[in-house]
């Protein structure tokens, strides 16, 4: 029992050390990045990530970036513009497509940005079907406010100065200077 406890403790310490080294690499490259731990940030290539000045990431956010993945030929990547705030418990999946977030954006809590989806084919096991390469990536313009609990699906572009209401599901492009909400999201008005 004691040996099992020691082995588990050593395993946890090694995992913690790997996370600390990974976090240290992020802070060395982007010294103005503000992360409130815990944040999970697995990545395979630091060069696939670009972060602007004064970016803040709240706790319990998971940011998953993989430049290469066997399921897709489309490279993954993440770019976050200056002075952008990402709220707690966010889910950013920059795999099988790039996620680009502009500057001065406000991304509220529990927001999901998904760069790719699995293929769905009759008779195939979805987990083994590979990824859809026809709709990939997410682009968020500058000065965009995304409300709590919003999901932005692959292939969507959100224009500058747009607002997306809480709980919305974005399935298509959102023009600049507009306010959208709903499931699926639809235009409510223009920003005045």
Q: Provide the strand spans (E) within the chain.
A: 34-35, 49-51, 56-57, 62-66, 77-80, 85-86, 91-95, 98-101, 106-107, 112-114, 138-140, 145-146, 151-152, 156-158, 163-164, 169-170, 178-182, 185-190
CATH code for the structural domain at 32-190: 2.160.10.10
What pLDDT score does 7 carry? 66
Q: Could you list the active site residues?
A: 118
What pLDDT score does 9 carry? 58
- Determine the Cα–Cα distance for residues 132 and 74; give it in Å rounded to an integer: 10
What pLDDT score does 50 carry? 95
Q: Which residues of the chain carry a pLDDT beneath 70? A: 1-23
Provide the 3-class DSSP secondary structure of residue 168: coil
What pLDDT score does 111 carry? 98
What pLDDT score does 119 carry? 85
pTM of the predicted model as reported, rounded to 2 decimal places: 0.86
What pLDDT score does 151 carry? 98
What pLDDT score does 110 carry? 98
Between β-strands 178-182 and 185-190, what pairing exists: parallel, antiparallel or unpaired?
Answer: antiparallel
CA-nearest of 149, 120, 147, 146 to 132 is: 120
Pair of tokens at residue 176: 């600049």
For the chain, give every domain's residue range: 1-31, 32-190
What pLDDT score does 123 carry? 87
């Amino acid at each position: 029992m004691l040996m099992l406890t020691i082995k588990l403790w050593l395993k946890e310490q090694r995992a913690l050390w790997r996370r600390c080294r990974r976090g240290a690499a992020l802070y060395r490259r982007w010294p103005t990045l503000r992360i409130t731990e815990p944040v999970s940030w697995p990545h395979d290539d630091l060069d696939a990530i670009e972060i602007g000045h004064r970016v803040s990431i709240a706790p319990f956010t998971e940011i998953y970036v993989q430049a290469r993945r066997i399921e897709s030929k489309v490279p993954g990547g993440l770019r976050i513009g200056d002075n952008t705030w990402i709220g707690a418990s966010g889910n950013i999946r920059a795999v099988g497509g790039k996620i680009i977030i502009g500057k001065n954006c406000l991304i509220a809590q529990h927001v999901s940005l998904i760069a790719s989806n699995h293929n769905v084919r009759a008779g195939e096991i979805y987990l083994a079907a590979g990824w859809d390469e026809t709709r990939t990536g997410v682009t968020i313009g500058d000065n965009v406010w995304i409300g709590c609990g919003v999901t932005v699906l692959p292939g969507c572009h959100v224009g500058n100065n747009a607002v997306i209401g809480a709980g919305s599901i974005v399935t298509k492009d959102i023009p600049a200077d507009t306010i959208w909400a709903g499931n699926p999201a639809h235009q409510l008005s223009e920003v005045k």
